[in-house]
Structure 1
Amino acid sequence: MPRVGVVVTLDVIVTNIHDYFDQFTEVVNGQVQHTAWDQRLSIPSPVGNGSITRTRIRPGMEIVYADVTFQEDMKLRIQEACGIFELSYCVSGEIYCAWDGKESYTSKETSGVLCLEDVQVYEEKKAGIHHQLLEIRLEPSELFHYAGDVLEKHQIETWLQRHKGSIDRVPDSSAIQRCVSDLIHCTYTGTMKRLYMESKAMEYIALFGEIDGLEVTNPQLNLQRNDMDRLHDAKQLIVSHYEHPLSIRQLARLVGLNEFKLKKGFRERYGMTIFELVRRERMEKALWHMEVEQMNVGEAAVSVGYSNASNFTTMFRKHYGCNPSEYVRRMKQQDMKRGFERQ
C-alpha cells in the first residue's frame, strides 16, 4: 500500500463496473458508510477532504458523485479490464486522462462520454482544486434492454461503436444541467431515492442520445439524406418559433417537405411529435424564467406564448408531474436547505 501524502501513481484494476469505487477506497485507505443502496466514502484527511458517494442501481449500473479536494495530485493507473459505458458531468475541477496514445482534458461545466474495454487509463486530478463530478456507469449490454427489435439493437450497437475506445466531449444543454442538478441534490431516501436516481440517469442517457444522434428511423418511409436535412431544418424552426408555433402547413412549405413526410418523419427521427417538441421547449423556457428571472406563474406562461394560465398549468403538470407553483415551492425549499447546509 503506497504511503498516503506521498505523490505516487496508484493502481486500480476494474474487472466489472462496480470495482472502481471499492478499489479506490482500498488504495486511499478510506472508511465507508453503508446504507441499503448507497456507499459513502469519506476521504481521509492526509489525502484530502470531501466524499464520494456510490449508488448501486442494479448489477451493471451505478451512479457516482464525487465532491473532493485533494491534498496532493491524485494520479491513478486504471486498468479497464471490462467493457464500460460512462456518461459524466464535471461541475467543477480539472481532470486529465491519457490512454492508447490519446489524451482528454475535462474542465468545469463539461459533459463527457467514455466507452472503453481492455485498456489502461492514466488519470490525474490536481491538488487544491475542488472537484465535483457526476458519473453514470453501465455495462454496455445494459443499453440493449431498451431495444425493442433487431433494428433498434443494431442502432445501439452502431452508437456504441462510434464512441468505442474514446473519451469524448458531449455538447451541453440546459436540460442536461438540470438533470445533473436533480441527481446531485436528490432529497429522497431508500427505495424512492433509487427509483428517482435511476429515472434521472436514464433521462440523462436519453438527452445525450438525442444530441448524439441515437434515432431509429423506419426504412419503409424511405427518408433520403436531403429529407433528413430538411427535418433538421424543421426542428430548428420549431425551436426558434416555440412562442408562436408555425402551422404544419407553414413548416412543410418552409422546409420543402409534404405534410405527411414531415409529421411521420419527424416523429420517427426525433422520437416525438412536433407538438411535443413545442411543448418541451415552452416548458423548459418557462422553468428557466421562474428559476432565473424569478417570474411568477402567470408571467412565465405569457412569456412562452400561453394566453391562458390554466392551460399552461395543465401542460406543465403533464411535463413535470406537478403544478408550476408546487415546483417553484420545492425549488425554494431546496435552495433554503442548501443555504443552511453551507452555513
Structure 2
Amino acid sequence: MTLNIVNSEVHSLFDQFTGLIQAQSRIQIWEQHITIPQEMGQGGIHRTRIRPGMEIVITDATYVQDMKLRIQEACPLFEISYCLNGDIYCEWEGKTSYTHHWTGNVLFFEDELVYEEKKADVRHHMLEIRLSPQELLHYAVDLSEEQKMQSWLQRYKGNIDNYPNTPEIHRCVLDMLNCTYNGALKRLYLESKSMELIALFGEVEGQQALTKKSFLSREDLVNLDYARELVIRHFEQPLSIQELARKVGINEFKLKKGFRKRFGMTVFELVRKQRMEMALYYMEVQRMNVGEAAVSVGYSNVSNFATAFRKIYGYNPSEHLKMLPQRDIKTD
C-alpha cells in the first residue's frame, strides 16, 4: 500500500493519514488517539497539539504489510524524532535515510517530496516533535538569538540527520512516554520536555562541533570513525586497544587520545554505553528481566551489570523496569 499525502501545514499529515487508512479516531480537545484498522495491523498513534504549529506524536504500531508513504512536504517543518524501535527507510532528492532502534533524527523540510517505507511485522515505536520554524523561533528572546536559530535551522535544511543517543536524551524521551499528568498539566509538561529534548540535541550538536577542531588529520578522523564502528559492532566481545589500533591503522596513543577528543568518551565508555543501550532494548522491547538482559549484553554477574547501568542512567535496572508500563516480565 502506498499513500499519497500533501503536507500543507504541520498538523495535516496525520489528519490525512487517518482518513486514507480509515482509522478510528478519538479526539478530546487537543488530544487525538488513532487506532490502526485490524486488517492493516495493530497499535495506534497518539497526537498532542501543544498549539497551532506545534504537535507531539507518539506512534506504537505494527503493520501487516509494508507501510509506504509518498509525502509532499509543502510547508516549512522542523522535526526532532526519536525511534525506540522500528525499521524505516526514507528517500528524497537523491538522498536516503535509514532509521532503526535508538535512532534520533532531526530534519528541516520546506518543499521536498519524501518517500517513506515502514517494514511489516516490525514494531514501530517512536516520538516526534513537529513544529513550524516560527514556533521554534518563538523561544528566541532577541534578534541576535533569532538570527542564531535561523542559522541553526539552515544547517539542516533539506536533510534528515542522525544525532547521537545519550542517556539524558533517552531518559527525556521515556519521561514523555510515561507522562502521568492529565489536562492542561499534561500539555505543559510535554511542551517543557519537548524543549528539553531540543536543548539536549543542541548540546550534543555543540559538542560535535567542538570535536571537529582537532589536531587530527582527515585520515585520522576516517580511521577513528572506523574504530567507533568496530567498537559498536563488537561491543559484546570487545576488541583490545592493541587489536583495535592494528585493525584501523593508527597508533595506540592517537587512538586513545583521538577517540576521546572526537567522540567525547573513551573506547571503554562507548562499549559500556552500547551494552547499556542494548540492555534497555532487551528490557523495553524484548521484555527481558534484569538477569536475562545482563547475560545478553555480556555480563555474567548481575551486580556488575547493575553497577554499570547505574553509572550511565543514575538508577538501578530494576527501578527502570518499574517505570515502564505494566507487562508480564519478572523484575528480579
2:189 to 189, 196, 200: 196
Q: Choose from 310, 319, 334 the match for 2:323.
A: 334
Distance apart, 1:340 and its partner CA? 6.6
Aligned residue for 1:202, secondary structure, equals helix
Q: Secondary structure, in 3 states, of the residue corresponding to 2:315?
A: helix
8 Å CA contact 2:86, 2:123 repeated in 1? yes
Match of 2:12 among 15, 19, 28: 19
1:288 CA drift (Å):
2.5
Q: How does 1:170-319 map to 2 (within 5 A)?
A: 170-213=163-206, 288-292=313-317
Deviation at 1:287, TM superposition (A): 7.9
Is contact 2:109–2:159 with CA below 8 Å preserved after alignment? Answer: yes
- For 1:193 and 1:340, how far apart are their aligned partners in 2? 27
1:28 has 2:17 as partner: no
Q: 2:57 aligns with which of 56, 59, 64?
A: 64
> Which whole-Å CA distance do the structure 2 matches of 1:334 and 1:210 have between them?
26
The size of the alignment, in residue pairs, is 237
Query: Which residue identity is paired with 1:30?
Result: A
Residue 25 (structure 1) shift = 0.1
Deviations 1:248-301 (A, max 9, x none): xxxxxxxxxxxxxxxxxxxxxxxxxxxxxxxxxxxx966824233x6xxxxxxx
The Cα offsets for residues 92-122 of structure 1, whole Å up to 9 and x where unpaired, read as 1111011111111111111000110111100
Matched, 1:110 2:106: no
Change (3 A) 1:214 1:141: farther
Partner of 1:138: 131
Is the partner of 1:164 in helix, strand or coil?
coil
CA distance in 1, matches of 2:55, 2:7: 14
Q: Which runs of 4+ in 1 moved over 3 A?
A: 284-287, 331-335
Q: Does the 8 A contact of 1:40 with 1:53 survive in 2?
A: yes
Take 2:315 and 2:205, find their aligned partners in 1: how far apart are those partners? 29
Alpha-carbon offset, residue 140 of structure 1 = 0.7
Contact 2:167 2:312 in 1 (8 A): no
Tell me the residue number matched to 1:98: 91
Flag structure 1 segments of 5+ consecutive residues without an equivalent.
1-7, 216-224, 227-232, 241-283, 295-327
Q: TM-score, normalised by structure 1?
A: 0.64
Structure 2: which 5+ residue stretches go unaligned? 215-257, 266-308
Which position in structure 2 is the counterpart of 1:309?
none
Deviation, 1:186, is 1.1
Normalized against structure 2, the TM-score is what? 0.66
Shift of 1:63: 0.4
| Structure 1: distance between partners of 2:175 and 2:153 | 26
Would you say the 8 A contact 1:159–1:214 is kept in 2?
no
Identity, % of aligned positions: 48
Displacement after TM superposition at 1:341 (Å): 11
Q: Give the equivalent residue in structure 1 for 2:157.
A: 164
Q: Using a 3 Å threshold, how does the CA distance of structure 1 residues 162 and 72 change in structure 2: closer, same or farther?
A: same
Aligned counterparts of 1:143 and 1:135: Cα–Cα separation in 2: 15
Query: What aligned pairs does 1:82-93 form with structure 2 within 5 A after superposition?
Result: 82-93=75-86
**Aligned 8 A contact 1:155 1:214 in 2:** no
Aligned position for 1:256 = none
Rg bigger for which structure? 1
- For residues 214 and 117 of structure 1, what CA distance do their matches in structure 2 show? 27
CA deviations on 1:16-37 (whole Å, 9 max, x unpaired) are 1100110100110111011122
Using the alignment, how far apart are the partners of 2:43 and 2:8 within structure 1? Answer: 26
Counterpart secondary structure, 2:326: helix
Whole-angstrom distance in 2 between the partners of 1:65 and 1:208:
19
- Matched residue of 1:169: which SS? strand
Output the amino acid matched with 1:291: N
d(CA) in 1 for partners of 2:314, 2:198: 25
Q: Which amino acid aligns with 2:16?
A: Q
Distance 1:211 1:56 in 2: 27
